Amino acid sequence: MSDHISPELLSALLLVSATDRESALFALLPPEARGGDIAQLLSKLARLDSLEGDFAATLEREKLASLRELAYGASHEINNPLANISTRAQTLLRDETDPDRRKKLETINRQAFRAHEMIADMMLFAKPPDLKCRELDLSSVIRQVVGELMNDASEQGTALIMRGIDDPTMLVADENHFAVALTALCRNSLEAVSSAGQVTISVAENDESVTLRVSDNGPGIPPEVRRHLFDPFYSGREAGRGLGFGLSKCWRIVELHGGTIEVESEEGRGATFTIQLPRQPVSEESPGTMYVHG
């Protein structure tokens, strides 16, 4: 290879973010190397990165299509029997006096409702819900969610701490759906920490957006788990963060609001989930969104 470039510089080039590799990294090459094999290598690497991104996007679409088909089937074939089971259990409960039988009927009803909720979670991916967005105080939503989780946190000896919510934090969002997302995120952190643990919910804002962070001092999340954490097909049990659609549901709701969610974590040093939301998430003309004024 005739190009004059050190192994150290080549290693540095390959470690830089792939998104701008062909353009930004080309400028870092010595002038004598820009027309040679190294430049061609960087160009090929950039095209390979692009192909990998396209493949990942295609795979994600196919996964969601499979989930959509499963959700529609489950909704039609399972929800009706579940409703009958739940209704029958509630009817029997009204007249049942035996404590053991009542306990079993309550379990039947509770599990039927849980199965129904799982199907509803799948439908969140199969068909975007109609968001009823209005101006709301995020600080108030946080206080409501923390209040609902306080008993669970106290039972396991975990402190729930709120920061930056003394004053109203206004944005436009669907209050019910966002409360569901925040609850799922907080439950995820509660599952990750042990007794004497700590979960902190904090808010920051500027003129354009609101940033919400949920941090815990749990065991952290391994990199191989972190890459799939918001995938509805992936189990987070390896990271001590439970099963189900909790985090993927949170990601989906944030996405529908035009926001982003990211996670930072080091093994043994906890995890921080950061949600960034625009104050006005989508235009009123966007499909699937209903604005409620007043």
Q: Which tokens sit at 75?
A: 């909704």
Other CB atoms within 10 A of residue 32 CB: 11
Distance CA 89, CA 149 (A): 27
Q: What is the pLDDT of residues 257-268, one digit of tens each?
A: 999 999 999 888
pTM: predicted TM-score of the whole model, two decimal places: 0.64
Q: What's the pLDDT tens digit per position in 10-31?
A: 555 455 544 454 555 555 555 6
pLDDT tens digits for range 118-172? 777 777 777 777 888 999 999 999 999 999 999 989 988 999 999 999 899 999 9
Put residue 65 in one of left, alpha, beta given phi > 0 → left and psi -120 to 50 → alpha: alpha
Does pLDDT of 292 surpass 50? no
State the Cα–Cα distance between residues 202 and 72, nearest whole angstrom: 37
